[in-house]
Structures are given as structure tokens and as C-alpha cells.
Amino acid sequence: MTTTAPRRSLRARRARSAAMISLTVVAAVLATLPLVFILALLIKQGASSLNWAFFTAMPKPVGETGGGMANAMAGTLMLIAIATAIGLPVGIGAGLYLAEHRNTRFAWLVRFLSDVLNGLPSIVVGIFAWQFLVRPVKHFSALAGGIALAVMMVPLVTRATEEMIKLVPDSLREAALALGYPRWRTSLTVVLRTALPGIVTGALVAVARIAGETAPLLFTAFGNQFWSTSLTQPVSALPLQIFSYAISPYEEWHALAWAGSLVLLALILVISLIARFVTRSRFGHGHD
Amino acid sequence: MASTSLHGASVGDRIYRFVTTAFALSIPLLLVLLAIEVAVAAWPALSSFGLSFLTSAEWNVVDGIYGAAPAIYGTIVSSALALIIATPLAIGVAIFLSEFAPPWLRQPVAFLVDLLAAIPSVVYGLWGVFVLVPLLRERVMPFIADRLHLGDTPFFSGPAYGPSMLAAGLILAIMVLPYISSVTREVLMAVPRSQREAALALGATRWEMIWGAVLPYASSGVLGGVILGLGRALGETMAVTMVIGNRHEISASLFSPGYTMASQIANEFSEATNDMHLSALMGVGAVLLFITLVVNMLARWLVWRVQRQGRA
């Protein structure tokens, strides 16, 4: 190709360049189209079956109209709370370690494996949690579901924490140490506090990511038609409920699945927007 | 006074160091534990069927014979199909955003493409069941088979049910596109400006600059992005389960239903009737785990290499 290039006329080369550039524009349009279609349909189908009862009522048996997903929403919040309670401290701790031991071999290994963990299929995390937490006690539980989600959350929080702490200037750390602060207090009260908005953002992004996960919950939280707040009982979640309604043969359940999807996506988008807002409000007039 | 506070500090430091090290250590430990748990659970099936677990197409719960070949085949075909569709699009978007897009358009389009990654798998599945699959069954499949006269070729033969390998490949393509495109965008931005200026100074057109100077420089990073997308596609569960038709069968036709490793686990696990069936499903999980581990490590290594190059 390089050998034929000089022989082509300038006009042909320019035309070719313009054509390829327009193709990238076409690619951009094609890539955003599915999103527009999905969002439009979600809003149209979801909004028409969304009402107050959806948020307050329990699922109804087949044939009865109405009913809602109150238990699934409570379940999702509960699972997120369990996952955050476990995943956040572990992730922040590991992130602190990685930021403070940047170039050691062990830190490199942990960083690499945390990326690998992040790329594992969620269904594999699901069967691992089942084998490890459900099989020995012989029943599904909210706790097992929350831990499965925590496994997915840890690598996200770890890397976010590390990146944010790296942004804290060394001079700040040095100033605190020079004032006689011990290392641990410097890390926790000066460095971590400075990086906090970024870490909150990272944590919220991680929550947004796990909120929509279904596969890790299939054999752990399992789903529940009834109200449950017990850690040791199966619990429902929005994605699980959407799944079982979507593959059911009943019209009313399909409508509920659309409404549930709209609520789930709205929840994820709100969390993501808050995540953006948290960083912008502190670091707003900076480099970005 | 001073000495006690110094003493206290060193204890605090030791505790702090111990706790953060323990948390950091928990990540490798978690991965090892995960691999061991899955491998142990899969062992009965893997040891009693040996290699035929990977090569046999027979999955007979009644007779207790398990071969995962159709699921492995389906995983590879649906992921390959997804990459064939998504890669050119994703690279096109990334080039548009990093090189040509006017600044006011860059942020919104990048945001929209990234948003594709925020939509939960189960919502894609819902859309697939009620929009994509009917569309394929009523419009696209008849069009390919009858109008384009491709119905006699092995790839597009058979009745058009709707739920099919084609549906899985298409929905996976939409799902992995944002991953490939965001990594590609990042590595393109890491290409030094001098590389572009040199090409333009030699009289290259803008496209020749991209093709001749920017893409070759970023190529292993782009490849890393594609492989990262492959990792996502291989393990994607819910959306695929909902549109692939879940049939344990190897067929060359993209119109016929199939299975992937992830969808087979999701579909059969809670109905597994006996220990060997469970172990066989765990075996499928172990194979999936092994493949995605290798694919992810390769992808991370490639991306990491380019980013280090760009910084140096």
C-alpha cells in the first residue's frame, strides 16, 4: 500500500480520506442508535405500566392485575448495602496499600489480579458463591448474594482508590509527616480525606455497576415472592424479578418487567450522575 | 511524653500496615479460593469424562453423560460474531472521537457510547426478547434467506425461529462495543502528537495519517481493547440466555438456537437433579473461568504495554 500511495493522484487520496472520515461518522451514529432505541422503548413501555402501586405493592399471582415490586426494590437496596459494607473497606484498604507501595512486585501482582478479577464472568462469581456459601448451609440467602456482589465490587473500588490517592500531591503527605504525624494518621486523616470525593465517586460507580447484576444472584439471593429482610433468607432483587417476568408467558408480567427495567436503569443513572457531581463539586475548577 | 507518642505511633503504623496489607492480600487470595472452589466442584465430572467433556456433544442428564462441546462452540461462535460486528464500529467511533469530532460533540457522544455499558444485561435481554428476536424472525431472517438467496448456504439454513446464534451475536455486539471503543479511544489519545505531525508534514492526508502513523503505533493497545471485549462477550450471561434459544446442539446455521457456557449454567443450574449434573455444570464454569482468565491476562498485558510506551 505504501508503494502505491505516491502514484495515486492527490485528489483521489483526498477523496479517499474524506470517505473514510465520513465512515467514522457513520460508525458513531450506528453505535449510538441502539442506545436511543432501547431508551425510547424503555421509557414508552415502562412509563405506561409504572404507577404508585409498583413501588408499594407486592407481586401478585398470575391472572390478578396490578401488583408491584416493592420487595424486589427493598431486596436490591439490601444487597447493595451488604456488598458495600464488605467491598468498600476491603477495596479502600487494598487501594491504600497499592498507592503507598507503588513499585513493589507484590503491588504489581495485586494490581494485575484485581484487573483480572474485574474481568471474570459474573456467572462464575455466582457459582463460586453458591459452592462456597450456599452449598455448605444448604439454603439460599441474602448474605450470599451480597457477598457475591462484594466480590465484583472490590476490584473496582481498589483501582479507583489507588488512582485517586496517586493524585494527592506528595507535598501534602510530607507536610503532615514533618509536623510529626505518624504515617497511619497521615494516610487516613490527610491523604485519604483529600482523595475522598474521588473515592466516593469510585464507590458510587461500583454500586451502579453491581446494582444491575443478575447472574451472581441467580443461585445465591435466588429471589423471593415475599417480603424479607432477613440476611439468612432468600431475597428478591430488581434484576432477578425482571428476568423471571421477562421469560414468563404473561402479558401483565411483561409490562411489570418493562417498568422494573425503567426503575433499575433510572436508579443506575442517578447513582452515576451523583458520582460525577461529587468529583466535579470539589475538583471542578481544575485540570479537567 | 514525646517518647510515649513516638512509641504509640509505631504501634499505630504497624497496625495500619498490617490491615492494608491484609486487604491487598485478600485479592490474590480471593482469586485462588475462587479457582479452587470451582475446580474442586468440577473435579468429579472432569475426571470421569476426561477430554470427552470438551469434545463430546452429548449432554444426557438421564444417562449421566456430559460433553460440553456445544456450549463451548456456541460461546466461541457468538463471541466471534459479536467481535466481527462490533470491532470496526468501535474503532470507527474511537477514531471519530479522538481525531475528528468537534470538541462540543466529543463529550456527549462519548457519554452516550459509555452509557451502553451502564445498561444492565437483563435489560438488554428484555429488549432482545421483545424487539430484536421478533425483528429477526419476521424481517431480517426472511430477508437474508429469501431475498439474498442465502437460505441454501449452511450458515443461514433452517427455519427462522428467532431465538438464535445470530440474535446472541448481535446483542453481544452492542454490549461489548463500549468496552472496545473506550479502550481504543484511550490508546489513541496516548499516541504522541509528534507522530501525527510527522505524518502530516510528509504530506499525508488525514486518513493516511490515521492509517499509517496513529493506528500502527496504537495497534497492540487496540488489540488489547478487542480482547477485553472478547472477555466480556465470552462471559456475558443474562442477555444471551434470553435470546440464544438454549438448545444443546452444534449447528453451522446462525439461524438455529444454541447454547453458551454461561447461558447453560444460568439455565440448568437451579434445576440440576443430581451431583454429577451439578459437577458437569461446574466443569462448564471451570472451562469458562480458564478461558476468560487467559483472555483477560492477555488483554491487560497488551493495554499495559502501550500505555507504558506512551508515557515513556
Q: Is B80 in contact with B191 (CB distance < 8 Å)?
A: no
pLDDT band at B6 (very low <50, low <70, confident <90, very high): low
Cell (9 digits) for B109: 457522544
The predicted pLDDT at position A132 comes to 96
Range scoring the smallest mean pLDDT among A6-20, A55-69, A230-244, B189-203? A55-69
**DSSP per position, A66-107:** ----HHHHHHHHHHHHHHHHHHHHHHHHHHHHHHHSTTSHHH
Q: State which residues form the domain around B190.
A: 68-311
Looking at the structure, tell me whether residues A112 and A237 fall in a common domain.
yes
Interface with chain B: mutation pick from A90, A118, A124, A151, highest number of B CBs within 10 Å: A124
Residue B2 has pLDDT above 50, yes or no: no
Residues 6+ apart with CB under 8 A from A43: A262
**DSSP per position, B282-297:** HHHHHHHHHHHHHHHH
Residue A159 has pLDDT above 60, yes or no: yes
Q: Give the residue, A6 or B122, on which the prediction is more confident.
A: B122
Q: Compute the count of residue pairs across chains A and B with CB atoms less than 8 Å apart.
A: 261
Please write the tens of the pLDDT for every residue from A90-113.
Answer: 999 999 999 999 889 999 999 999
Give the ipTM of the model, two decimals please. 0.92
Looking at the structure, tell me whether residues A143 and A200 fall in a common domain.
yes
Contacts of B20 in chain A (CB under 8 A): 93-94, 96-97, 100
Looking at the structure, tell me whether residues A138 and A204 fall in a common domain.
yes
Average pLDDT value for residue range B85-109: 94
Contact between chains at B90 and A31 (C-beta distance less than 8 A): yes
How many domains are contained in chain B?
1
Looking at the structure, tell me whether residues A77 and A37 fall in a common domain.
no
CATH code of A168's domain: 1.10.3720.10
**Residue in A96, A187, A242 closest to B126 by CB:** A242
Q: Looking at the domain assignment, is residue A288 inside a domain? A: no
Does A254 lie at the interface with B, CB-CB under 8 angstroms? yes
Please write the tens of the pLDDT for every residue from B100-143.
Answer: 999 999 988 998 998 999 999 999 999 999 999 999 999 999 99
Please write the tens of the pLDDT for every residue from A216-250.
Answer: 999 999 999 889 989 999 999 999 999 999 999 99
**Residue in B38, B122, B129 closest to A131 by CB:** B38
A positions 186-215 inside 8 Å of B (CB): 187-188, 208, 211-215
Q: Looking at the domain assignment, is residue A265 inside a domain? A: yes
**Residue A106 and residue A63: Cα distance in Å, rounded?**
59
**Residue in B23, B37, B121 closest to A97 by CB:** B23
Contacts of A132 in chain B (CB under 8 A): 33, 37
Q: Looking at the domain assignment, is residue B198 inside a domain? A: yes
Q: Looking at the domain assignment, is residue A197 inside a domain? A: yes
Q: Looking at the domain assignment, is residue A126 inside a domain? A: yes
Looking at the structure, tell me whether residues A153 and A207 fall in a common domain.
yes
pLDDT band at A285 (very low <50, low <70, confident <90, very high): very low
Looking at the structure, tell me whether residues A233 and A154 fall in a common domain.
yes
Q: Looking at the domain assignment, is residue A10 inside a domain? A: yes
Q: Is A223 in contact with A236 (CB distance < 8 Å)?
A: yes
The predicted pLDDT at position A286 comes to 39
How many domains are contained in chain A?
2
Looking at the structure, tell me whether residues A29 and A161 fall in a common domain.
no
| Mean pLDDT of the residues in chain B | 91
Residue B85 has pLDDT above 70, yes or no: yes
CATH code of B156's domain: 1.10.3720.10
Average pLDDT value for residue range B184-203: 93
Q: Which chain B residue has its CA at the smallest distance from A260's CA?
A: B123
Range scoring the smallest mean pLDDT among A55-69, A190-204, B156-170, B278-292? A55-69
Q: Looking at the domain assignment, is residue A161 inside a domain? A: yes
Residue A153 has pLDDT above 80, yes or no: yes
Q: Which helix (H) or strand (E) holds A41?
A: helix A10-48
Buried b (16+ CB within 10 A) or exposed e, B285-301: bbbbbebbbebbbbbbe
Please write the tens of the pLDDT for every residue from A243-252.
Answer: 999 999 998 8
Q: Looking at the domain assignment, is residue B234 inside a domain? A: yes
Residue B8 has pLDDT above 60, yes or no: no
- Closest C-alpha among A18, A13, A14, A19 to residue A1: A13
The predicted pLDDT at position B171 comes to 97
Please write the tens of the pLDDT for every residue from B238-295.
Answer: 999 999 999 998 999 999 999 999 999 999 998 887 999 999 999 999 999 999 999 9
Residue B3 has pLDDT above 60, yes or no: no
Please write the tens of the pLDDT for every residue from B14-50.
Answer: 999 999 999 999 999 999 999 999 999 999 999 999 9
**DSSP per position, B132-176:** IHHHIIIIIHHIIIIIS--TTSGGG-S---S-SHHHHHHHHHHHH
Residue A288 has pLDDT above 70, yes or no: no
Cell (9 digits) for B88: 470496526
Looking at the structure, tell me whether residues A31 and A103 fall in a common domain.
no
Contacts of A22 in chain B (CB under 8 A): none
Any idea what DSSP says for residue A217?
Answer: G
Interface with chain B: mutation pick from A127, A258, A262, highest number of B CBs within 10 Å: A127
Looking at the structure, tell me whether residues A25 and A91 fall in a common domain.
no
Residue A34 has pLDDT above 50, yes or no: yes
Interface with chain B: mutation pick from A25, A96, A104, A128, highest number of B CBs within 10 Å: A128
Residue type, A179: L
Does A37 lie at the interface with B, CB-CB under 8 angstroms? yes
Looking at the structure, tell me whether residues A33 and A123 fall in a common domain.
no
Looking at the structure, tell me whether residues A164 and A233 fall in a common domain.
yes
Average pLDDT value for residue range B149-157: 87
Q: State which residues form the domain around A97.
A: 55-283
Q: Looking at the domain assignment, is residue B33 inside a domain? A: no
| Mean pLDDT of the residues in chain A | 90
Average pLDDT value for residue range A271-280: 85
Q: Is A258 in contact with A46 (CB distance < 8 Å)?
A: yes
- Closest C-alpha among B175, B197, B211 to residue B92: B211
Please write the tens of the pLDDT for every residue from A171-182.
Answer: 999 999 999 999
The predicted pLDDT at position A7 comes to 66
Contacts of A265 in chain B (CB under 8 A): 118-120, 123
Q: Is B91 in contact with B182 (CB distance < 8 Å)?
A: no
Residue A1 has pLDDT above 50, yes or no: no
The predicted pLDDT at position A221 comes to 94
pLDDT band at B9 (very low <50, low <70, confident <90, very high): low
Q: Looking at the domain assignment, is residue B194 inside a domain? A: yes
Looking at the structure, tell me whether residues A81 and A220 fall in a common domain.
yes
**DSSP per position, chain B:** -HHHHHHHHHHHHHHHHHHHHHHHHHHHHHHHHHHHHHHHHHHHHHHHHTTHHHH---EETTTTEE--HHHHHHHHHHHHHHHHHHHHHHHHHHHIIIIIS-HHHHHHHHHHHHHTTTS-HHHHHHHIIIIIHHHIIIIIHHIIIIIS--TTSGGG-S---S-SHHHHHHHHHHHHHHHHHHHHHHHHHHS-HHHHHHHHHTT--HHHHIIIIIHHHHHHHHHHHHHHHHHHHHH--HHHHHHS-------S-TTS----HHHHHHHHGGG--SHHHHHHHHHHHHHHHHHHHHHHHHHHHHHHHHHHHHH-
Residues 6+ apart with CB under 8 A from B258: B70, B73, B74, B77, B78, B164, B165, B168, B244, B245, B247, B249, B250, B251
Contact between chains at B27 and A155 (C-beta distance less than 8 A): yes
**% chain A with pLDDT above 90:** 76
